[in-house]
Amino acid sequence: MISPTAHIFRKKLIRKPPFWAPSSTSAGSTSYASSPSISYRIYSIWLFTFSDIKTIIAPSFAFGFFTAYISPSFDIHPAPTWQELIQRAPLMLLWSWINLLPFAIDNQRRPESIAEDTLNKPWRTLPAKRMTPQQAFNLMLVFYPLAILTSLQIGGLRQCIGLVVLGIWYNNFGGADASWITRNFINGCGFVCHISAPLEVALGGQQVASNESTIKWLLIIGTVVFTTVQTQDMYDQAGDCLHGRKSLPLVVGDGPARWSIAVPMTFWCIFCPWYWSSSPITWTLVVSLGLTVAGRSLALRSVSQDRATFRLWNLWMVCLYALPLTRVVY
């Protein structure tokens, strides 16, 4: 049942696609392609993950690449050479994408998700009617085993299994909707899986979970995400309301939710450079960007402004991933 408040938000949810979004000439059409070409099918599959390139795939690759490069700082030996890192880079991207895809399909295939995407992301595969929900479900059943087999071959198998469990919890057992605490926890664990697996791939399949210094850093990253990832919920309150999700801003209110971002952001942007004994330049960059996110969360409250704040949050996370490099430079 849709909350009466949802109707207040419905008009706010309708927006033009951003300039970087794929064209969706078929969006809103009333029929599906009868005999789609191979390129049409491939592009339809790609659209499931397009919006997550900047939030999941690129940052995860950055973490794996940076951390593998200075792996001796984490007591990981032997360190890969530049040539090995470059050779393994496509495999790192493959791991991120093929493990993200089945989760994204499961997340987007439900009627309420299609209705929401029809309003704010009409270029996606299902609202654009490039594929039926049943075809998407069948595709998901194919790619979950493919993700496991790929991880078995190139590394990151435990993280893959972890993402399968987290994804089923998130999409099928109320993990995304029932509680903002559970939602943030799953996001935190998911981030840790997504960033640590490309690192293992970059290290040639070497497991990193048994390394104490690596575990500490991953736990810090997971806690950072748990306490600040509600940044992504600020601009999507309309969609979450329609969806019936109990995201943090809908539970505690818009104002308190913004303070729940600003306070931990202020702490983490100071703590993380301190943890790595970073150089003054690094301190300035991370603190400035973190305080910018905190300040924008409090002062700039439109949907477009919140969306831009979330992009800055993702950039700040990438800066955190690069912090261990400063131990080498400093």
Cα 199 from Cα 59, distance rounded (Å): 12
Beta-strand ranges (E) seen in 90-192 are: none
pLDDT band for 68, please (50, 70, 90 cuts): very high
According to the model, what pLDDT value does residue 29 have? 45
pLDDT band for 5, please (50, 70, 90 cuts): very low
Other Cβ atoms closer than 10 A to 209: 11
According to the model, what pLDDT value does residue 30 have? 47
Q: What is the DSSP string of 17-41?
A: PPTTSPP-TTTT-SS--SS--HHHH
pLDDT band for 150, please (50, 70, 90 cuts): very high
Distance of CA 110 to the CA centre of its chain: 19
Residue 228 contacts residue 313 (beta carbons within 8 Å): yes
Averaged over 224-234, what is the pLDDT? 96
Residue 187: enclosing H or E segment and its boundaries? helix 180-202
pTM of the predicted protein model? 0.86
Pick 61 or 240 by higher pLDDT. Answer: 61
Cα 266 from Cα 301, distance rounded (Å): 19
Other Cβ atoms closer than 10 A to 231: 25
Query: 36-40, 144-148, 214-218: which has the minimum mean pLDDT?
Result: 36-40
pLDDT higher than 70, residue 8 = no
Tell me how long the chain is. Answer: 330
Handedness of CA 259, 296, 218, 248 (dihedral sign): positive
pLDDT band for 14, please (50, 70, 90 cuts): very low
